[in-house]
């Protein structure tokens, strides 16, 4: 790790200035975990800003960004074709976190600084001064905890979490990302301090939530959020999926645990954050559409439409970006039952064309979600569904090749209809377009212009429209 020449450059400048400098936090942890990391945090026992300026100059990096109020400074450095980001801060007595808006006081020793960090595995430092170059400073047993896969706070967890309550989510995020266990005492403290999450900004919470969702098995983190009581506070709709109601001895499946299985299935197949969000929200409408029927038992009719309508509100309340991704998630939630219903029947060309038309370019993601949604323990049933899905997939390819429905554009446009029949915008145009579209999707006419025009004249004659003569 210390091969990067920047470390020696920083150490040399620190020696010249008569201060101590260390690489700390994530970069040290990731070195031992052999994870890629391109952000280097440097702590200086002295002025971080002065050391940053001197180091940038020595490294030939032009631009240093200085955040005078916060006592931090950063610059970029290119090495081995990689852009490294190096951030400097003075050692402090108070709690450390990068995003803190609070100005800091540079009056601490290295150990002061280390003990105010979040977890022992994030509180290790490598010395950069020449005499002690590469020496590891690990006062809280970070290496032991890394080896044991344990997340533990350097100080009493009540203190560490009240310094920055987001750390409760960070604990769960690291557990999910790294497959680590949270020490019992630390986990209990999350339960005790959970309400404090209310003072943390939604953006910071969303960042951690997304990292949990992107972890190899998202269910690990999401279940810990549930178990700690945090989920109810940060994402009540998801927590509402939990539980089983029983009437006349008949219960339904627990939709939270089902959703967890679906999440892990999707995570095995795709790194697309928004597809994973669609998996998380696919059944979100179920608690609101649940009914018990004496004859057929539990039903959730219309949960896909209800859930789809909830997506935007959830995105807003979690401060997730509203830049079109919410529409993708809405669409997948809305359509998530379609392939399965289709595969339960005889798979007709017309139904497959309609599915292709509605899903468009997201058809492959939709199929991935639907396959992940099969969580039955009954192997015969699972096999039947998977075989049927394979048939649907085959037909999708066949029909797309033949009819190009995926990015369907109506072969006759509204403007054209108005011109041909000399009519203003009106209801009839919609009727003509809709009937042509249906005819194509139902395979009654091929998806081509000639046939569509012919049909247009027929429908127009039926409803009493005459072309204007030129
Ligand atoms: N840190 C902290 N408390 C926080 C956030 C960060 O103590 N709430 C400290 C930790 O020592 C952490 C370092 O600041 O290692 C850098 O934080 P950050 O860049 O947010 O996270 P990383 O640990 O590097 O992990 P990742 O890059 O995966 O977010």
The single residue listed with the structure tokens 């005499």 is 131
The answer to whether the beta carbons of residues 261 and 216 sit under 8 Å apart is: no
CA of 116 to the centre of ligand 1 (A): 12
- The residue whose CA has the least distance to atom 13 of ligand 1 is 25
The packing angle between helices 273-281 and 218-228, to 10°, is 50
Given CA atoms 451, 452, 457, 463 in this order, what sign does their dihedral have? positive
Structural domain contains residue 281: yes
pLDDT in tens, 2-28: 889 999 999 999 999 999 999 999 999
Query: How many Cβ atoms from other residues are within 10 Å of residue 405's Cβ?
Result: 22
CA of 117 to the centre of ligand 1 (A): 8
State percent of the chain over pLDDT 90.
76
Q: Whose CA is nearest to atom 8 of ligand 1?
A: 97
Higher pLDDT, 360 or 153: 153
Task: Give the model's confidence band at 70: pLDDT under 50 very low, under 70 low, under 90 confident, else very high.
Answer: confident
pLDDT category at 156 given cuts 50, 70, 90 is very high
Residue with tokens 């949990």: 212
Domain termination residue (choose one: 77, 109, 142): 142
CB atoms within 10 A of CB 384: 15
Residue 315 CA to ligand 1 centre (angstroms): 25
Task: Give bridge partners of residue 451 from the DSSP assignment.
Answer: none
pTM as predicted: 0.91
Helix (H) or strand (E) holding 20: strand 20-24
Domain membership flag for residue 115? yes
End-to-end C-alpha distance for the chain, whole angstroms: 79
Most confident range (mean pLDDT) of 8-17, 90-99, 447-456 is 8-17
Mean pLDDT over 74-102 rounds to 84
Print the domain residue range for 375. 266-403
CA 408 → CA 263, 352, 355, 361, distances in Å? Answer: 31, 14, 12, 10
**Same domain flag for 271 and 334:** yes
Write out pLDDT tens, residues 335-394: 999 888 776 667 788 888 889 999 999 999 999 999 999 988 899 989 988 888 888 888
**Residue 345 pLDDT:** 66
Distance of CA 136 to the CA centre of its chain: 35
- Position 102 scores a pLDDT of 65
Q: Is the CB of 35 under 6 A from ligand 1?
A: no
Please tell me whether residues 367 and 418 are part of one structural domain.
Answer: no
pLDDT at residue 243 in the model: 94
Query: Quick one: DSSP state of residue 43?
Result: E
Residue 312, classified by CB atoms within 10 Å of its CB into exposed (0-12), middle (13-18) or buried (19+), is: middle
Distance set, CA 269 to CA 32, 266, 288, 371 (Å): 28, 5, 30, 10
* Residue 151 lies inside a defined structural domain of this protein: no
Q: Give Cα 37 distance to the centre of its chain.
A: 20
Q: Residue 33 belongs to what H/E stretch?
A: helix 26-33
Q: Is 90 in the pocket of ligand 1 (CB under 6 A)?
A: no
In sequence order, the 6+-apart residues with CB closer than 8 A to the CB of 394 are none
Region 282-308: what's the mean pLDDT? 95
Average pLDDT, integer, range 153-174: 96
Give the DSSP per-residue string, 240-297: TT----EETTEE---HHHHHHHHHHHHHHH---HHHHHHHHHTTTTHHHH-EEETTTE
439 and 395: one domain? no
Query: Which tokens is 115 given?
Result: 């003990």
pLDDT at 105: 62
What's the mean pLDDT in 409-417? 88
Condensed to tens digits (0 to 9), the pLDDT of residues 44-57 reads 999 999 999 999 99
Residue 66: which H helix or E strand, with range? Answer: strand 64-67
Q: Which helix (H) or strand (E) holds 77?
A: strand 72-79
Residue nearest to atom 4 of ligand 1 (CA): 97
Q: Is 118 in the pocket of ligand 1 (CB under 6 A)?
A: yes
Residue ending a domain, among 403, 425, 445, is: 403
Same domain, 326 and 443: no
Domain count, the chain: 3
Same domain, 335 and 378: yes
Q: What is the pLDDT of residue 65?
A: 96
| Structure confidence at residue 98 (pLDDT) | 63
- Which atom of ligand 1 is the closest one to the Cα of 166? 8
pLDDT of residue 359: 93
Which of 122, 142, 162 marks a domain boundary?
Answer: 142
Domain presence at residue 244 = no
- Regarding whether 434 and 320 lie in a shared domain, the answer is no
Structure tokens of 220? 């690990």
Question: Averaged over 303-325, what is the pLDDT?
Answer: 97
Rounded to whole angstroms, the Cα distance separating 15 from 128 reads 9
Whether residue 101 has pLDDT greater than 70: no
Q: Is the pLDDT of residue 241 over 90?
A: yes
Does 348 share its domain with 430?
A: no
Of residues 273, 268, 161, 153, the one with CA closest to residue 207: 273
For residue 155, being part of any structural domain is answered with no
Are residues 429 and 391 part of one domain? Answer: no
Closest atom of ligand 1 to 41 CA is 16
Cβ of 312 below 6 Å from ligand 1: no
State percent of the chain over pLDDT 70: 96
Whether the Cβ atoms of residue 372 and residue 364 lie closer than 8 Å to each other = no
**Overall average pLDDT of the 83-99 stretch:** 83
Residues 6+ apart with CB under 8 A from 117: 24, 25, 96, 123, 154
In a domain, residue 339? The reply is yes
């Amino acid at each position: 790790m210390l091969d990067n020449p920047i470390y020696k450059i920083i150490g040399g400048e620190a020696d010249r200035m008569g201060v101590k400098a260390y690489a700390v936090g994530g970069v040290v942890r990731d070195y031992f975990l052999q994870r890629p990391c391109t952000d280097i945090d440097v702590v200086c026992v002295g002025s971080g800003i002065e050391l940053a300026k001197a180091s940038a100059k020595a490294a030939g990096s032009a631009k240093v960004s200085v955040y005078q109020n916060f006592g931090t400074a950063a610059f970029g450095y290119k090495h081995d074709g990689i852009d490294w980001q190096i951030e400097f801060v003075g050692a402090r007595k108070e709690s450390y976190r990068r995003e803190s808006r609070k100005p800091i006081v540079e009056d601490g020793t290295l150990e002061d600084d280390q003990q105010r960090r979040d977890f022992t595995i994030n509180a290790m430092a490598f010395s950069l001064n020449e005499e002690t170059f590469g020496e590891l400073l690990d006062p809280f047993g970070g290496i032991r905890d890394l080896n044991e896969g344990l997340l533990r706070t350097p100080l009493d967890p009540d203190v560490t979490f009240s310094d920055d309550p987001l750390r409760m989510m960070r604990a769960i995020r690291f557990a999910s990302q790294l497959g680590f266990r949270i020490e019992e005492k630390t986990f209990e403290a999350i339960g005790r301090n959970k309400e404090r999450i209310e003072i943390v900004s939604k953006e910071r919470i969303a960042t951690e939530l997304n990292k949990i969702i992107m972890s190899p098995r998202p269910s690990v983190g999401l279940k810990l959020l549930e178990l700690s009581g945090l989920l109810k506070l940060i994402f009540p709709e998801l927590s509402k999926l939990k539980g089983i109601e029983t009437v006349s001895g008949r219960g339904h499946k627990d939709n939270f645990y089902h959703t967890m299985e679906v999440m892990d299935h999707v995570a095995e197949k795709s790194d697309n954050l928004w597809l994973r969000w669609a998996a998380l929200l696919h059944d979100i409408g179920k608690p609101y559409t649940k009914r018990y029927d004496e004859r057929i038992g539990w039903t959730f009719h219309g949960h896909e439409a209800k859930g789809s309508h909830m997506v935007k509100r959830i995105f807003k309340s979690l401060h997730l970006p509203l830049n079109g991704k919410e529409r993708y998630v809405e669409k997948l939630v809305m359509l998530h039952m379609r392939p399965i219903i289709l595969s339960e029947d005889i798979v007709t060309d017309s139904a497959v064309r309609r599915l292709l038309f509605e899903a468009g370019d997201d058809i492959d993601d939709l199929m991935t979600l639907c396959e992940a949604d099969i969580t039955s323990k009954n192997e015969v049933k699972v096999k039947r569904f998977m075989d049927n899905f394979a048939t649907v997939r085959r037909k999708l390819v066949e029909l797309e090749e033949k009819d190009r429905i995926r990015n369907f554009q109506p072969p006759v446009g509204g403007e054209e209809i108005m011109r041909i029949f000399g009519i203003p915008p009106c209801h009839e145009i919609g009727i003509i377009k809709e009937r042509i579209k249906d005819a194509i999707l139902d395979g009654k006419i091929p998806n081509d212009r000639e046939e569509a025009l012919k049909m247009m004249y027929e429908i127009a004659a039926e409803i009493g429209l005459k072309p204007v003569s030129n």
